[in-house]
Chains A and B, each alone.
Chain A
Amino acid sequence: MKKLSKKALNSSFWRWFYGNLTCFSHEHMQTFAYMWSMLPLIQELYETKDEQAEKLQTYYPFFNTEPQIGSIVVGITAGLEEARANGAEEIDDEMINGIRAGLMGPLAGIGDSLIVGTYIPVLLGVALGLSEGGSIIGPMFYIVVWNVTSIWFQKFIYNKGYELGGSAVEVIVGEQATALRESVIVMGQVIVGAMAASWVNITTSVVLTTAADRVLDEATGEYIVQEKDVLLQASLDGAFPKMLTMLFVLLCWWLMAKKNISPIKVMLLMVVLAFVGVFIGFFDPGLSY
């Protein structure tokens, strides 16, 4: 009965952790990283060089996912490879690559929305709050919390993947996991709303009308007419605070999500809007020396 040593598993994990994207290209993406992290396992399980080369070929096919959550897949194949070396006949190249290909998409979706789209922005948001006035506490908070939790999480799911082998698939794409994921995303939606209100501030300098106020002049005892500007900004905020900011965020979202316009093009559109807006007097940041 062959059993992978702790040392080989550790080496495999750290190779993936470090190298998952170091030699990224659009042709093979994470394929080389995958082979490099399977190598110590294959070398331990199989003795002859020919056998090792043959087993390494299992991992030649293309691989790409969100690499941090993707460490569970490397763990799963470590478990499968060990079982195969012990003579499990149902585990062949086709089965291993079926699992790899089947998990790439769902895991990329989970990783991009939960880790990159929710967890990291929330940590950065807290860090931004702590950084006010140039305080180093903010960046330090992020460096420590992100790295400690992220490394622990990646190691944990790698080991879980190794222990569970093929049965890990149900844990990842099962109904309970899907329900949990969708619920965390609900929290993400609320947080993004709060972020938009906290960090974006778009105001207009448009004057709607000039209202005339009759004011009693105390010195002379006569009424004089004072002119007062009615600002569009104040009217909008009166209806819904920071409405203009929200509309801008929703406009950008709509262009990217519904019209499939790339973020770079939306940014360029903002350049145009900024120039046109200042030119027609919609925006005026009120600068002076």
Chain B
Amino acid sequence: MTITWLQAALLGIMSCLAASTIAVLGTTVGNYTLNRPLIASVFVGLILGDVEGCITIAIPMQIIYIALVTPGGTVAADLRAVSYIGIPLAYVTAKSQGLDLASPEAQGIAGALGALVGTVGTVQFYGTAMMNLIWQHIGWARLDKKDFSILGKVEVFLPLISHFFISFIPVMLIVYYGADAVGNFQEALPMDSWYMKAIFTLGNLLPAVGIAILLKSVVTKMADLIFFVFGFTLAASMGLTLIAATAVGAVFALVNYQMTMIKLRAGTAGAADDEEDI
């Protein structure tokens, strides 16, 4: 199975629309919708002609990158490469190996490829942000001359040039030539070799990093980990689904809120009493 130039170009365009924080379609629609691997898989599937297959192969990638928070503009990995390079290449690899897309082998390849191309995305993120400096400097110069219309150009049109060079061209080339390269995967990397075992093991280990990134964003002190272990036990030992665990978590949230509010009220009432004493 190969990818045509037209398909590669369409994937290139999608990667511009969805590019991380600097997406052409903006933060909510671009970054947090089209850039998520699970959502991207629908569009990759439409381009490659197998929506169901692409969704299946994208699931392990989505789990690795479940919580990509970019505090202060630092990225762990820009998902434009995971979604629009990783998914098509994982799909082509699994297909040319003759694997069932839902099999642990195919899912392992997807996870490992997702992590590998994540670093491509990081380079793209910093590249786009660097190139945007040019447009912003043009913007400041024109603002000094009271040319307000430059703001719209800096915000909407000029970043497209950054995306052409840093999203569109690289994604198109990597997908086109990469699909050829992974087509010969089977001879190059036999399944029972120790290095293939290592790649699949890696596919199992990487989701732990994704969850840990998420954990970092909600845990501030060591005691918070108890709630994490509690949630883990709910699912692992008691077999609760994610939505059921959310409901249990909501109870604790409500109790915590009410207790904090009682404390706050007691605090203000106490302060008022003190004043009366004086």
A residues engaging B (CB < 8 A)?
A: 15, 17-29, 32-33, 35-36, 39, 43, 49-50, 52-53, 56, 64, 67-68, 108, 112-113, 116-118, 120-122, 124-129, 131, 133-136, 138-139, 142-143, 146-147, 150-151, 154, 175-176, 179-180, 182-203, 240-242, 245-246, 248-253, 255-257, 262-264, 266-267, 270-271, 273-275, 277-279, 283-285, 287-289
Contacts and interface: CB of A to CB of B under 8 A. Distances in A.
Contacts, number: 370
A35 B218 CA distance: 32
B24 to A, nearest CB: 7
A179 to B, nearest CB: 4
Contact of A112 (B42, B51, B71, B143): B71
A194 B235 contact: yes
B207 interface: yes
Interface stretch (B1-9, B167-175, B176-184, B188-196): B188-196
14 contacts: A21-B26, A22-B159, A24-B132, A113-B217, A134-B51, A176-B264, A179-B257, A182-B260, A191-B245, A192-B218, A193-B228, A199-B63, A245-B236, A287-B196
Contacts of B42: 136, 139
Interface string B13-42: 000000001111111110111001011011
Given A32-B136, A176-B264, A256-B213, 12 more contacts: A17-B27, A117-B67, A121-B66, A139-B38, A147-B33, A150-B32, A195-B66, A202-B204, A262-B76, A267-B118, A274-B205, A284-B197
B107 to A, nearest CB: 11
Contact of A271 (B41, B51, B62, B202): B202
Nearest to A264: B76
A187 B208 contact: no
Contacts of A184: 253
Interface string B51-68: 111111001001100111
Interface in B216-261: 216-219, 224-225, 227-237, 240-243, 245-246, 248-250, 252-254, 256-257, 260-261
Interface residues of B, number: 118
A262 B213 CA distance: 10
Nearest to A20: B27
Which of B71, B159, B197, B219 neighbours the largest number of chain A CB atoms within 10 Å of its CB? B197
Contact of B27 (A68, A175, A203, A271): A68
What's the dominant secondary structure at chain B's contact region?
A: helix
B260 A198 contact: no
Given A250-B225, A256-B216, A193 B230 contact: yes
B191 A287 contact: yes
B155 A183 contact: no
A140 to B, nearest CB: 8
B136 A113 contact: no
B129 interface: yes
A278 B242 contact: no
Contacts of B245: 190-191, 193-194
B17 to A, nearest CB: 11
A34 to B, nearest CB: 10
Contacts of A283: 197-198, 201, 204
A68 B214 contact: no
Contacts of A182: 256, 260
Candidate in A108, A124, A195, A250 with the most chain B CB atoms within 10 angstroms: A195
B250 to A, nearest CB: 5
B71 A108 contact: yes
Nearest to B28: A150
A267 B115 contact: yes
Given A36-B155, A67-B27, A192 B215 contact: yes
A176 B230 CA distance: 26
